[in-house]
Structure 1
């Protein structure tokens, strides 16, 4: 059985998840010059980390569509001191304006030591602490993790996708702005 290669890109902050020119933001074309590859799901311009690209429409749908429930893990740096009650709400599912999320895996984590510096850095407030949380979802709707964090009272300052399926950005050791080919077996 022939498997379609995937591209895994460590997308920097400020890059829009499209190849066509954009008047305001850098695009994926600045990092990947191969033709006929497209994002398998999106990663907001303000978010960083793991982005998959494929030239196979069925595979793209399998990765991106909420009906296949491919787990995606994010590390979110949020404003404020997150409580266990807030984490419990994430684990139950959050009622947002557009929909109610499925329950997420969520936990408070120590500040990641293996993350690159973000350019530009997040805004820091002298008297307001920040907390890092890990959130794993299977839906991936528009700005879902950011909306979930806001709904529990902790606005997201930085969001990094670190894992899709069994593929972890740090296991592959992909530097920010770099990419490599992987096989489907790395993902599923």
Structure 2
């Protein structure tokens, strides 16, 4: 599902950085998928506790970033890779669910309709029992205390 983030970064985000985020950024493990990135005005948000560090000499800017994968600290790593470290990060939307109309501490119940059963050939990977290689199965049997 696409995930939409509002990101406050250190410095005035450049058009070349937005283009790099849109094309995909090379991180140390591999390149990210292309994202949809655009600069945005500062949104009306609740105050952050503790507040984001403030420096008079270094401005901040906001961008909206939509990604379709979810790697560990991906948004923070992407913005740092293009030279704009993340100061504040808000996941605003996942698929069609968003924070629109919610105040801090509020929640919304959503009914999700899932199929009663998945077709047998399309079971998700986590539903299949993992089969260990033969050498590992043997070593688990009788190697106690040796």
Give CA deviations for 1:158-181 in whole Å, capped at 9, x if unaligned. Answer: 0000000011211xx222233221
Which residue is 2:52 aligned to?
122
In the comparison of the two structures, how many residue pairs are matched? 113
Runs of 5+ unmatched residues, structure 2: 114-146
Which residue is 1:93 aligned to?
24
Of 74, 80, 88 in structure 2, the residue corresponding to residue 150 of structure 1 is 80
Runs of 5+ unmatched residues, structure 1: 1-69
Query: Is the radius of gyration larger for structure 1 or structure 2?
Result: 2
Of 84, 87, 111 in structure 2, the residue corresponding to residue 183 of structure 1 is 111
In 2: Cα distance, 1:183 partner to 1:110 partner: 33
Which residue is 1:140 aligned to?
70
Which residue is 2:130 aligned to?
none
TM-score normalized by the length of structure 1? 0.58
Give CA deviations for 1:8-55 in whole Å, capped at 9, x if unaligned. Answer: xxxxxxxxxxxxxxxxxxxxxxxxxxxxxxxxxxxxxxxxxxxxxxxx
Compute the RMSD of aligned alpha carbons.
1.1
Of 31, 34, 38 in structure 2, the residue corresponding to residue 107 of structure 1 is 38
Alpha-carbon offset, residue 90 of structure 1 = 0.4
The structure where strand makes up a greater share of residues is: 1
Give CA deviations for 1:55-77 in whole Å, capped at 9, x if unaligned. Answer: xxxxxxxxxxxxxxx00000000
TM-score normalized by the length of structure 2? 0.74
